Structure 1
């Protein structure tokens, strides 16, 4: 950019709200420092992102690239929230079709940096050809990235993992003792996305190629929380690794939210509950329990006797034909102490309410950070993706308790749900989990700490640009 010291950064997140929101949070933090951000996604996704505070609107441009049509992808599906799990691979194929339009945008906008996610494995090499500096920005934390290993393992040129069981043991490149591995039922559910099929490129290959072509890994996380993993990640890839803090979700409330009426009813119900007594239940935008799992969760909540607020997704987009239903009579039997919401719900507002004491969650990292932000005890029930590894990180640090499950098929019972909820919410044995989230709050969401991580990142980005310009003025090119 012409203005001295100011950076222009293009951000290109994967089409999942668990990725787009952390990208937007980092964009806001960088824009507050006076830099320009172009956040690139599809029209419908950009329209669904939270509103920006007015002071940041001049600094963050939302760039809408229409998603190419792909067979087997439902109409108007532009994010993982819009499709059943088995259709996500078609979303990735459509996303790969954005290669040409984003290349054109990069050529015409000439940014200093491009930050890209794990899916666009082709973007790093394109940016290099255009002499644009590139960062692999991972919303997955350092333990997760380290677990998946070096580029040859990710790209499949070094066959270290050929069967399910290979993912349930500590990798040979992790030199310290750790329980951060998949359980057998967890890897079974996602193994195909790591190996790929005739229709799609494996996720691991995508990540490997993206890391191979980047100059720096920008990682969600804190050096105080996971120093050994950040150090290992740097050793594995031989590239700088810069943690950018936990990026807690922030919401601008303009006062004109058309969901005020919905929230008013929820708040009135929460206001009537005893402080710290309510279990908030939500499994993120992607995880959807099976009918058998839903039944056991519901009957476990009923058995526990605890008040609960449950945000329940019955389907993933209009193409999802496998609707799930609550057990017959459940809502009637629990109406005096439970609220089931099957539409949108303001998670931050609910978690911030004094009556909420615990959070039954899929352990998606954004939800974990939000729980810690409001000091809500964590009870975990994993479903997909990196959730199992996140759960191990939290279990190791006594920050959360996982509902006991069958190792092979992941099944669980209403009794273990009820017992786990009671243990964490009110039991003496669960006091450690209730206290640990309070202890971790400042580390995870302290404003000064988060600000320091962003300053450190910007220092690196500016220094890199200066060296690159010096190199070019001396007749060379630093990529």
Structure 2
């Protein structure tokens, strides 16, 4: 009697057009394919060209990954030609139009599914793509969501939503988030805009998002259990055990060429960057990068620049100010900043090869905006951090890095600066505060050694988690088996 082998599963993967979401979502696609799953990534033409090249080697090696592109009708939604990703927009007033453009492809995706001889076994979608939930319900396909946050953040949001503790305090009052394994104190002014009444972008979107997430079959998390075991356990209880920590996703790229091109074409040549790093002493360089959609005011960036100069440490600064980049570039030029610091400073404009930089032995500290992708990449590299949270869940992430993991030093930011409202807030952190935090992080001594030791240990655990038999590797296997079981039940 012939052996019956299980048929290949087919997953539909639907990313959101923002680098911090799109990049890890296609990392998930690569991991699924490595586990024998056929993957179709729903994308748009510009995003496939920009982000898809990182999967070329994987596809050429025989992994079953396909991009299925659906064009966005720019004129219909008032979008500039070629703008299919948040960081390509002239300013964030176009963000709503971009989301409407993405929603318009729902009907095209459903027409594609209807033509398939066999429907996809699972949809993995960014949580912000609400229409994917509607499509999953229509075709009775299990939907697993990805929102780019860790279990710690998910638990903070859940406990705040359930307890409403933030409603009874003033904006500058400190309160303890109830029900967490650690004593986490926050201010209302530091909360993401779903809880923060100062946010401009309120409305019913977040309630729709909450409902959509509750209807999903499960959640994949870009984290690993050893990093936040207690929080992962609690989050699983809330989600009926349908939570799979499958990260760190960035570790699915091994060689330097992949690390350089992940996310976008780097604005600096690999050799130039590596040669500069090679010229620095081990653990001496501070790397300052503030996220892919940074819109920080030029006056605020000047404060950071002055601190980097005053610290007398070698540094790499990724200069990014969105549509106001000309203003900061004018200051750099007119004040001779780049010339004055050329012997110990490297300025990168545009996209930086962050994985390559962080993994270099010369890096001694990472000044970050506390986006989860960046923090996890720092953890993988075994690097301690200076934390400067900006918006959304980034103040949660700061608490996790500084207080729970004890591998960071805060610059002391007190308030969320909501995306699109940077001009209203102006300068919120002075150069003296940056300088103090950098010096504490980089100062030789027992405290730095302890931070570095913890960071290095976490990096080792991160790499082990994705190896055969590691926690994340096993979680990916369990997810696939779970979906296989659901497919079998549906077919019966």
Asked whether the two chains share a fold, i.e. TM above 0.5, the reply is yes
Query: Structure 1 pair 385/449, CA: closer, same or farther in 2 (3 Å)?
Result: farther
Shift of residue 193, structure 1, vs aligned partner? 10
Query: Structure 1 pair 68/470, CA: closer, same or farther in 2 (3 Å)?
Result: same
Query: Structure 1 pair 398/292, CA: closer, same or farther in 2 (3 Å)?
Result: same
Query: Structure 1 pair 471/101, CA: closer, same or farther in 2 (3 Å)?
Result: closer
Instruction: Output the aligned Cα RMSD.
Output: 3.4
Cα contact 1:394–1:400 (8 A) shared by 2: yes
Q: Distance in 2 between matches of 1:255 and 1:470?
A: 40
State the TM-score, normalized to the length of structure 2. Answer: 0.83
Cα contact 2:367–2:385 (8 A) shared by 1: yes
Q: Tell me if 1:324 matches 2:342.
A: no
Aligned with 2:480 (options 455, 461, 465)? 461
Q: Tell me if 1:178 matches 2:176.
A: no
Q: Tell me if 1:63 matches 2:68.
A: yes
Q: Distance in 2 between matches of 1:450 and 1:193?
A: 46
Q: Distance in 1 between matches of 2:328 and 2:191?
A: 21
Shift of residue 176, structure 1, vs aligned partner? 4.1
Q: Distance in 1 between matches of 2:490 and 2:328?
A: 59
Q: Tell me if 1:121 matches 2:130.
A: yes
Structure 2: any 5+ residue segments left out of the alignment? 417-424
Cα contact 1:443–1:449 (8 A) shared by 2: no
Question: What does residue 477 of structure 1 align with?
Answer: none
Question: What does residue 443 of structure 2 align with?
Answer: 426
Question: What does residue 85 of structure 2 align with?
Answer: 79
State the TM-score, normalized to the length of structure 1. Answer: 0.85
Query: Structure 1 pair 236/16, CA: closer, same or farther in 2 (3 Å)?
Result: same
Query: Structure 1 pair 374/223, CA: closer, same or farther in 2 (3 Å)?
Result: closer
Question: What does residue 108 of structure 2 align with?
Answer: 101
Structure 1: any 5+ residue segments left out of the alignment? 474-479
SS in 1 for 2:84: coil
Question: What does residue 141 of structure 1 align with?
Answer: 150
Q: Distance in 2 between matches of 1:195 and 1:143?
A: 26
Shift of residue 441, structure 1, vs aligned partner? 0.8
SS in 2 for 1:324: helix
Q: Distance in 2 between matches of 1:126 and 1:430?
A: 50
Question: What does residue 296 of structure 1 align with?
Answer: 303
Bigger helix fraction: 2
SS in 2 for 1:248: helix
Shift of residue 161, structure 1, vs aligned partner? 6.6
Query: Structure 1 pair 375/255, CA: closer, same or farther in 2 (3 Å)?
Result: closer
Question: What does residue 19 of structure 1 align with?
Answer: 21
Q: Distance in 2 between matches of 1:372 and 1:247?
A: 12
Question: What does residue 394 of structure 1 align with?
Answer: 401
CA displacement, residues 263-305 of structure 1 (integer Å, 9 cap, x when unaligned): 2222222222222211111112112321221011001111101
Query: Structure 1 pair 11/162, CA: closer, same or farther in 2 (3 Å)?
Result: farther
Cα contact 1:315–1:324 (8 A) shared by 2: no
